[in-house]
Amino acid sequence: MTSSNEFCSETSVGNEPSWWAVDLGAIYEISNVVIFGRNDCCEERLSNFIIEIIRPCRDNNDWFEDSRIDICYHQQEPTKFLNASCHNKMIGKFVRIRLSNLNDRLALCEVEVHGIFIGFLKTATFPYACGFQGHSSEENDEILSSAIVHSDIQCTFICSYMKYCHVADFNKKTSTCILMKKKSGSTLVTNSDHNVFIVN
């Protein structure tokens, strides 16, 4: 996209709040996101939006499945230009600009994402995990091992260094840690007794 109004992009109104996203192609530590809106009109089409940094927990074709979503910045007032700083070392592969209201349009002319390259998702040498409190993994995931542990952190740590392990499901009531493979298409389910972590 470009800051020239002739080449600006605008969403239509749909069944969910409008959003725009970019795949950075690798994992980055995002420092700031610069946004240019229309300079001839329509400031309201760049207002009340959230900038999200999305970190996939595994490599797949779905942009947002099994992903950790962190909020970099919330802009309430209409604007034509914004340089938003992301704090706390936000790490991700996707950046999404999402409106808060359902019936609004989003207009963008240029988006710049600034950050430090960390690595490609498939070849990253560091393990990291995305946690989902109050959720558990589907039962059809293949179980590799189980044990009684002290915490969900210990459960996740064991998984991160176990071959083929990508899911650490911790039962808070029994302190049982179940380590699993992650099957394509499997999902997480709500379960208040569990915390589950998807490990890269």
Q: How confident is the model at residue 163 (pLDDT cuts 50, 70, 90)?
A: confident
Q: What is the mean pLDDT of residues 86-100?
A: 89
Report the chain's mean pLDDT, rounded to a whole number.
84
DSSP 121-180: TTT-SS--EEEEEEEEE-TTSPEEEEEE-S-HHHHHHHHHTSTT--EEEEETTTTEEEEE
Q: What is the mean pLDDT of residues 108-129?
A: 77
Task: Please tell me the predicted confidence (pLDDT) of residue 123.
Answer: 53
Give the largest Cα separation in the chain, rounded.
Answer: 62
Q: What is the mean pLDDT of residues 133-159?
A: 86
Q: How confident is the model at residue 3 (pLDDT cuts 50, 70, 90)?
A: very low
* Range scoring the smallest mean pLDDT among 94-103, 157-166, 176-185: 176-185
What does the pLDDT look like over 32-91, one tens digit per residue?
Answer: 999 999 988 888 999 999 999 988 765 555 667 667 788 999 999 999 999 999 987 788
CB 194, CB 170: distance < 8 Å:
yes
**5-19, 49-63, 117-131, 163-177, range with greatest mean pLDDT:** 163-177
Instruction: State the amino acid at position 25 in one-letter form.
Output: G
Task: Please tell me the predicted confidence (pLDDT) of residue 125.
Answer: 46
Angstrom CA distances, 67 to 19, 28, 151, stand at: 17, 15, 22
Q: Which helix (H) or strand (E) holds 36?
A: strand 19-36
Q: Is the pTM of this model over 0.85?
A: no
Angstrom CA distances, 94 to 51, 70, 87, 97, 171, stand at: 11, 11, 16, 10, 31
Same fold, 5-119 and 129-199: no
Candidates 3.40.50.720, 3.90.1150.10, 2.60.120.260, 3.40.50.620; CATH matching 5-119: 2.60.120.260
What does the pLDDT look like over 10-36, one tens digit per residue?
Answer: 888 877 889 999 999 888 999 999 999
Q: Which helix (H) or strand (E) holds 184?
A: none
CB 132, CB 169: distance < 8 Å:
no
The answer to whether domain 129-199 has CATH 3.50.4.10 is yes
Task: Please tell me the predicted confidence (pLDDT) of residue 68.
Answer: 78
Q: When comparing pLDDT for 1 and 110, which is higher?
A: 110
Other residues' Cβ atoms within 10 Å of the Cβ of residue 117: 11
